[in-house]
Structure 1
Amino acid sequence: MRKLTKRSAAAITAAVVAVGGAGAAYAYWSSTGTGVVSGKAGSAAPLTVLKTELVGTVNPGTKAGVAFSVKNENNYAVLPSTLTLTGFQAVTSAACDGAATFQQVANAPKPSNWAQKIGKGETVIFTWNDSVQLTANPDDDCQNQDFKFTVNVGATSAESSSSDTIKTP
C-alpha cells in the first residue's frame, strides 16, 4: 500500500469536509412551521329609520306617500331590500279601528332611489309615493283622525348576502 502524501491527505480531508458541510447546509435549509390564527367576525347593527311622515292626506279613493330617512349604523355599506308598513293604529279616537281602516298599498312601486347603496354611517332620504290608503268602505269614526304605523326596512350587506331588518315606531 502506498503511503499518503501530505497533498493527498489534504485533498481527502477537504473532500470529507465539503461533503459533510453540504449535508449540514442542507439541514439548515429544510425547515417547516405552522401557526394558528383566531379571530372574531363582526355583527350587523340595526338600521335607524328617522323623520317618518305622511306625504299627503288619506281620503276614500286616494293614496298618500311616506317620507323617511334610513341611517346605516354598520361598519359596511348596505343595500335596501324590503320595505313594509305595519301596525296601523288610530291615535285620537278609540272608536276608529285603524288596523281595519288604513293599509299599505299592495305592490306600490318602491322609492326611485331604493337601489341606492347606503354607506357606512350615511343617511339616505326616501319617499315612497302612493303607499298608504284607506280600505274599501272606511269606518266613519276614522274621519279627521290621526293615525300611526311602523315603517319596516330590511337591508343586505353590499358585500355579501347577510341581512339586517329593523323597525321603527
Structure 2
Amino acid sequence: MKKALILAGLLAAWPLYGASPGPVMELRGYISSWTQNCSGGVCALPEPGERNSPVTLRLGLPSAPGEASTAKTSRTLALADGSSLSAGLDFFAICPYVGRENCAGRYFQAQISVSGPAGAFCAASLNSGDFDPFPVLICAGIKPGGTRFGVTLHRLPL
C-alpha cells in the first residue's frame, strides 16, 4: 500500500502527456470542402461542399532549441454530390536546433491529409504572421477522369 501511494504521488507530480506548461497559441479558423471538374484540360470553378466547419486548437509554443509541439484534429466533410472526404490536420510549432536563445527562430508547419474519393498530403512551413490566428492553405487530390477533391483552411467564414 505504501509503495502504491508513493507511486501515485510521483505520477501526480509529473506533467500530463501533451500538456504545455509554457505559452500557448490559440488557433481559430474554418475548414471547407469542395470539388472541381478539371476534365478536358480546363478546370471549372470549384463547387462548394460543406462550408465553415469551425476548428479551434491550442498549440503549445516550444521555448528551447530542439523542442517541438503539436496539435491535431480531423474532420469528415460533406461534398456537393452527397459523398464525403476526411481531412486530418496536424499543426506543429518548431524551435530549430540551431535556433537562437528563447527560440527566436520558431516556425510553424501545417499538414493536411485528405482521404476519400481522392487522397492527398499537403504541407507548408510558415512564420508566425502567416500561421496565427489560423493558417490559410488548400489541399486537393485528383481522381482519374479529372475531378479534384479538396479542402481549404481559412480564417473568415465563406
Using the size of structure 1 for normalisation, the TM-score is 0.29
Using the size of structure 2 for normalisation, the TM-score is 0.30
Q: Which has the higher strand share?
A: 2
Q: Which has the higher helix share?
A: 1
